[in-house]
Chains A and B, each alone.
Chain A
Amino acid sequence: MSCPEFNELMSYADGEVAGADAARIRAHLEQCGSCRALLASQSDIENLYRGGFTEPSEARMESLGASIASDMRRRRFYTRVLPIAAALLVAIGGMRFMIRERIVEIPGTGGDLPVATQPAAGAGGEMSAETVLVTASVPPTPQLAADDVLMEQQDLGAGEESRTGDLLSQTVETVSSGTAGGAMPADSGGTFYCYGGSGTVADVQSTIADQTVAADREDDRYMLEQPATPLGGAEIADGAGGGGGAASGATAFGRTGEVGQSQEVSSEVFESGYAQEAEGGDYDNLPGCAGLAVSTVAAQRACERCAVVLEFDSSGNACSPDSLLLDEALPGWKDSLQGRIVDSILVVPVKELEEFLNE
């Protein structure tokens, strides 16, 4: 009887041969001392190999676990936040380009640190927006108790549902020209922009008729990008002492530096502004996004100083041009969140961003 091949013998020993083949090999082994010796020696080799391993200590495994956890945090931050921040900066840059903004020095800040961008006259672009960017290196110029203002915002009833269709008048108020600069701590480094962070807009009041309502109208979107051109017949009043509306002595965001001026803007303006901007985008369900504002404010408050705030509706659709721009700039970026953004708002704390970059 001829001996089985080595691989056949080993397959048998590995339990990978069944049925008649297994019976045949078994029968052969009963009669063939040479094959038994071959299997035995191979078994010795493999047993020695298996048994020769030195298990790592528990402490070493724990150390590895800690390293992995740390690495996870760092990479998560890197893979999620940095692209977002970068894309947002690109988006902001793009918006700035589109609206052909000009940099405006804010009076009284002693330099070019706090800047606001305004659409150039006659720009008339689809992005009829006014965007305020605040550099992180802005010195803590007159901050009119931003924290107090934030508290005041809290008292406005964050959490109430937005009533998008309601006609309401809205006053957007900044505390002072320094408020914008105060959006970021002076020691926060000069790398990042604070985009719509709380503290940039000190106070927002929304009223429906005579009733103060819905802090959720404190939408950054509104704060940041008021239509430069009145839309839908709505009116933006801009003048010292108030625009004849619900509030006076207010300074509209986007008019940073013009302390004492105020705006009264109908919500229709904003909705129209959204709608207009939506023409170039996919804002099919903007009203569904309106409720995000409350969380936006809450999010900003939670992280105190936010570098990035992005809004998405419950279906994950972009709720603002910046969100959409981010989507376009970085397709699939939400996928990197591994489903953990159940849509709505993503907040990137400046501090976390800084910590990462300082590592």
Chain B
Amino acid sequence: MIQLVLLAAVEVLDEDDPELLRRARAGDREAFGELFTKYGRRVYRVARRMCRNDEDAWDVTQEAFMRAMQAMPGFDPRYRFFTWIYRITTNLAINMSQKRKRHAEVMFDEEYGAEGLQALPDDLSEQASAGELTRAIEEAVQKLSPPLRAVFVLRVDQQLSYSEIASTLGIAMGTVMSRLNRARNEVRRAVGHLLEDGG
């Protein structure tokens, strides 16, 4: 049967996730739009956690979905979509971080001094409000190297299991554990003095 193929969009509907993924894999843009609706916020959140600024996070989110769409036909349905797109997102964000590294360091140093958060005055620890502490934690996470940050974000913010993190980042479980341990220790060191017990 001859079929006419134009470049116009194909509009189809979706029901559930496997069906949604099947249709998205077949190039159904609407299905992909539904995937965006479903995962867009989570992806943005990961991107925002990974990126230094909001603008980069939006860019990474958009690019992640674009790449996912382009690679969708090759997506293996045995895997979870969010794991897959998280991987795209974190890779993009890591690349973005590396690109922005110099700029970010300059900004950070200007804001906190060359020593970073550890240079915060001691008396602040006693007055640190939850908001200030939160900000300090966020800054400390931002100071982590991108690989450490990715593990930290996926575990602490997204609460993925170690195996999910390993799958998402394409690293071994042992690597997940060691990176997570290092990330936690670094963050803790950075903000410990703001905690009640001094860390």
Query: Which residues of A are at the interface with B, using a C-beta cutoff of 8 A?
Result: 6-7, 10-11, 14-16, 37, 41-42, 44-46, 48-53, 55-56, 61, 64-65, 67-69, 71-73, 75-77, 79-81, 291-292, 294-295, 298-299, 302-303, 314, 337-349, 352
Q: Which residues 1-25 of B have a CB within 8 angstroms of A?
A: 1-7, 9-10
Q: Which residue of A lies closest to B163 (CB)?
A: A16
Q: Known contacts A68-B65, A75-B70; decide if A340 and B26 are in contact (CB<8 Å).
A: yes
> By the criterion CB–CB under 8 Å, are A77 and B40 in contact?
no
Query: What CA separation (Å) do A171 and B76 show in the bound complex?
Result: 52
Known: A44-B195, A72-B29, A75-B70. Is A343-B141 also a contact (CB below 8 A)?
no
- Closest partner residue, chain B, to A73 (CB atom): B9
Known: A49-B141, A291-B2. A72 touches B181 (CB 8 A): no
* Of B42-50, B83-91, B99-107, B109-117, the one with at least 4 CB within 8 A of chain A: B42-50
Given A45-B191, A344-B5: A64 touches B26 (CB 8 Å cut-off): no
Q: Give B residues with C-beta under 8 Å from A.
A: 1-7, 9-10, 26-27, 29, 32-33, 36-37, 40-41, 44-45, 48-49, 58, 61-62, 65-66, 69-70, 72-73, 130, 133-135, 137-138, 141, 155-157, 159, 161-162, 177-178, 180-181, 184-185, 187-188, 191-192, 195-197, 199
List B contacts of A45 (CB < 8 A).
137, 187-188, 191, 195
A-B contact pairs, 6 of them (CB 8 A): A41-B192, A49-B134, A49-B141, A49-B156, A56-B44, A64-B61
| Closest Cβ–Cβ distance, residue B70 to chain A (whole Å) | 7
Instruction: Output the least CB separation between A275 and chain B (Å).
Output: 22
Task: Contacts A75-B70, A345-B2 given; indicate if A6 touches B37 (C-beta within 8 A).
Answer: no
| Contacting pair B3 A342 (CB below 8 A) | yes
| Cβ contact of B6, chosen from A56, A61, A65, A303, cutoff 8 A | A303
Q: Is B4 a contact of A52 with CB atoms below 8 Å?
A: no
B47 to chain A, nearest CB (A): 11
Give the top 4 A-B pairs by smallest Cβ distance, nearest first. A7-B181, A52-B134, A338-B73, A338-B27
CA distance A49 to B180 in the complex (A): 15
User: Are A6 and B29 in contact, CB atoms less than 8 angstroms apart?
Assistant: no
Task: Find chain B residues with CB under 8 A from A46 CB.
Answer: 156
Report the bound CA distance from A33 to B179 in whole Å. Answer: 26
Report whether A343 and B3 are in contact in the complex, using a CB–CB cutoff of 8 Å.
yes
A-B contact sample (5 more), CB < 8 A, given A6-B185, A53-B48 = A48-B133, A49-B141, A49-B156, A340-B10, A347-B7
Measured CB to CB, the nearest residue on chain A to B159 is A50
Chain B residues whose CB sits within 8 angstroms of the CB of A77 once the complex forms: 7
Identity of the chain A residue whose Cβ is nearest the Cβ of B155 in the assembled complex: A14
Q: Which chain B residues border A76 with CB–CB below 8 Å?
A: 7
Are B188 and A42 in contact (CB-based, < 8 A)? Answer: yes
* Cβ–Cβ < 8 Å partners of B61 in chain A: 64
Tell me which residues across on chain B come within 8 A of A61, comparing CB atoms. 40-41, 44
Residue contact A341 to B5, C-beta cutoff 8 Å: yes
* Residue in A closest to B57 when the chains form the complex, CB atoms: A56
